[in-house]
Chains A and B, each alone.
Chain A
Amino acid sequence: DTAVSQTPKYLVTQMGNDKSIKCEQNLGHDTMYWYKQDSKKFLKIMFSYNNKELIINETVPNRFSPKSPDKAHLNLHINSLELGDSAVYFCASSQGTGPFGYTFGSGTRLTVV
């Protein structure tokens, strides 16, 4: 199936731990994104990569570090997790940075306890 897939779907961890979320797309898109959806369902962009190059880095704590080994993969590593990091994280991809629709993954629900 052509899609954006992210793993894991659920992640429960303790404060202070380090965790990673992986994302892969097989749509042939050259731009990938990480979005955070908070408890009120608001979706906010965190990062964007175009052909492995970081092009958008919103005001996100340095504890969050994206990595794109190739244009089909975009991973998110989070250091020293805090309670406020609890949210659903969505990976997405698009064909270019212009006026195109984004395809989203099914999300990773991160709960920090």
Chain B
Amino acid sequence: QQQVKQSPQSLIVQKGGISIINCAYENTAFDYFPWYQQFPGKGPALLIAIRPDVSEKKEGRFTISFNKSAKQFSLHIMDSQPGDSATYFCAATEHKLSFGAGTTVTVRA
């Protein structure tokens, strides 16, 4: 049973646009919410992460928004670039990392 639900499955955005990926969870014991970026043939790489006592975290063009009461969190990629084309996974931790199903992002030049 998937503990973290992620949507959409895929999205296409124009260069310079905003990509938004949403995730939801039920387990209130989760204490850490990272996002991973995976390129073809590579392992997932930690992109940005947030703890549940923070509502927003920004690192460069990547922002996590966290809504604890709604048990939802999202990744915003601002000014999307072709090099951002990858699969993005949300995840949550309670002694182990549980992943969402992934979103394939394609940025068109």
Contact = CB atoms under 8 A, between A and B. Distances in A.
B45 A97 contact: no
B49 A101 contact: yes
Interface string B73-104: 00000000000000101000101111101101
Given A56-B95, A100-B32, A42 B102 contact: yes
Chain A interface residue bracket vs B:
20 to 34
Nearest to A101: B46
A107 B51 contact: no
Interface residues of B, number: 24
Contacts of B98: 45
Nearest to B32: A99
Contacts of A98: 31-32, 93, 95
Contact of B31 (A90, A99, A101): A99
Interface in B2-60: 31-32, 34, 36, 38, 41-46, 49, 51
26 contacts: A4-B43, A41-B101, A41-B104, A42-B102, A43-B44, A45-B96, A45-B98, A90-B43, A92-B43, A97-B95, A98-B31, A98-B32, A98-B95, A101-B46, A101-B49, A102-B46, A102-B97, A103-B46, A104-B36, A104-B43, A104-B45, A105-B43, A106-B41, A106-B42, A106-B43, A107-B43
